[in-house]
């Protein structure tokens, strides 16, 4: 892990749809489970928009789309099966979005450190980032089950900042969805949104502080936020 101190500025990233394109493996796992249960698959472009709220939410959204009405106990079992299968195929088709590595290099050279705050299960988050070769770059990797609360509760972000050794006044969040933006707003942390992630409406509709279309523009967006502050 990167050594950190409270004086270092911190970038906190969402994971799915922000740092990494994970929908191919998530949707493949969802459709495997639906087929096993006798339901039709969800088309990829439709299912991609369902990603971002965690595995259980994806299962529930997929079942609703397929017309499935299963008892809670059965959904609990599907959730466990989902995690087992997904963890075994976590980076078959997943990859970092273009420019992530270069952006991290530039910010790290300028003294920034990094954390992840996601609604993905912590174990799966670490496993994915390890498979993508960047886990060691983050001072904290915090998932849906890391704290008693999760996004969009702003406390999940604040506890991530604490775990990473950061300070809320020197932190900026980067995300791709309504959940991420609301989390940052609830924590009173500035937020940069990427417009290529998993969202049902254009991300601008949720009023992030800045929007970028490529990680090449993250530096300028952060500089702009710091100047405005």
Predicted confidence at residue 47, as pLDDT, reads: 95
Q: Which fold has domain 10-22+94-228?
A: Rossmann fold (3.40.50)
Q: Tell whether pTM > 0.95.
A: no
Asked if 198 and 74 count as a contact pair (C-beta separation under 8 A), the reply is: no
Asked if 122 and 141 count as a contact pair (C-beta separation under 8 A), the reply is: yes
Asked if 125 and 131 count as a contact pair (C-beta separation under 8 A), the reply is: no
Query: Alpha-carbon distance 168 to 99, whole Å?
Result: 26
Query: Alpha-carbon distance 172 to 174, whole Å?
Result: 7
Predicted confidence at residue 200, as pLDDT, reads: 84
Q: Where in the chain is the domain with CATH 1.10.150.240?
A: 23-88
The H or E element that residue 96 is part of is: strand 95-96
What are the tokens at 189? 């942390």
Note the CATH number of domain 23-88. Answer: 1.10.150.240
Q: Where in the chain is the domain with CATH 3.40.50.1000?
A: 10-22+94-228
Asked if 160 and 142 count as a contact pair (C-beta separation under 8 A), the reply is: yes
What are the tokens at 82? 């989902």
Predicted confidence at residue 52, as pLDDT, reads: 81
Instruction: Indicate which residues carry an active-site annotation.
Output: 14
Predicted confidence at residue 5, as pLDDT, reads: 47
Tens of pLDDT, residue by residue, the chain (229 residues): 443 444 699 999 999 999 999 999 999 999 999 999 999 999 999 999 899 888 999 999 999 999 888 889 999 999 999 999 999 999 999 999 999 999 999 999 999 999 999 999 999 999 999 999 999 999 999 999 999 999 999 999 999 999 999 999 999 999 999 999 999 999 999 999 999 999 989 999 999 999 999 999 999 999 999 999 7
Predicted confidence at residue 70, as pLDDT, reads: 87
Residues 6+ apart with CB under 8 A from 120: 15, 16, 54, 55, 128, 143, 144
Predicted confidence at residue 7, as pLDDT, reads: 65
């Amino acid at each position: 892990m990167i050594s950190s101190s409270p004086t270092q500025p911190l970038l906190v990233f969402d994971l799915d749809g922000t740092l990494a394109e994970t929908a191919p493996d998530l949707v493949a796992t969802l459709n495997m489970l639906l087929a096993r249960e006798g339901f039709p698959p969800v088309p990829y472009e439709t299912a991609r928009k369902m990603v971002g709220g965690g595995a259980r939410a994806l299962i529930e959204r997929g079942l609703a789309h397929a017309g499935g009405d299963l008892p809670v106990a059965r959904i609990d079992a599907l959730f466990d099966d989902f995690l087992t299968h997904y963890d075994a195929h976590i980076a078959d088709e997943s990859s970092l979005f273009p420019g992530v590595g270069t952006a991290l290099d530039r910010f790290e050279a300028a003294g920034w450190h990094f954390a992840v705050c996601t609604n993905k299960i912590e174990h799966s988050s670490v496993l994915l980032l390890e498979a993508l070769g960047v886990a060691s770059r983050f001072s904290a990797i915090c998932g849906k089950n890391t704290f008693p609360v999760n996004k969009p509760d702003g406390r999940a972000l604040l506890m991530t900042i604490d775990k990473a050794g950061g300070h809320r006044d020197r932190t900026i969040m980067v995300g791709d969805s309504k959940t991420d933006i609301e989390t940052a707003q609830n924590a009173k942390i500035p937020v940069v949104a990427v417009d290529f992630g998993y969202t049902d409406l254009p991300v601008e509709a949720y009023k992030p502080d800045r929007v970028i279309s490529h990680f090449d523009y993250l530096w300028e967006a952060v500089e702009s936020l710091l100047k405005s502050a």
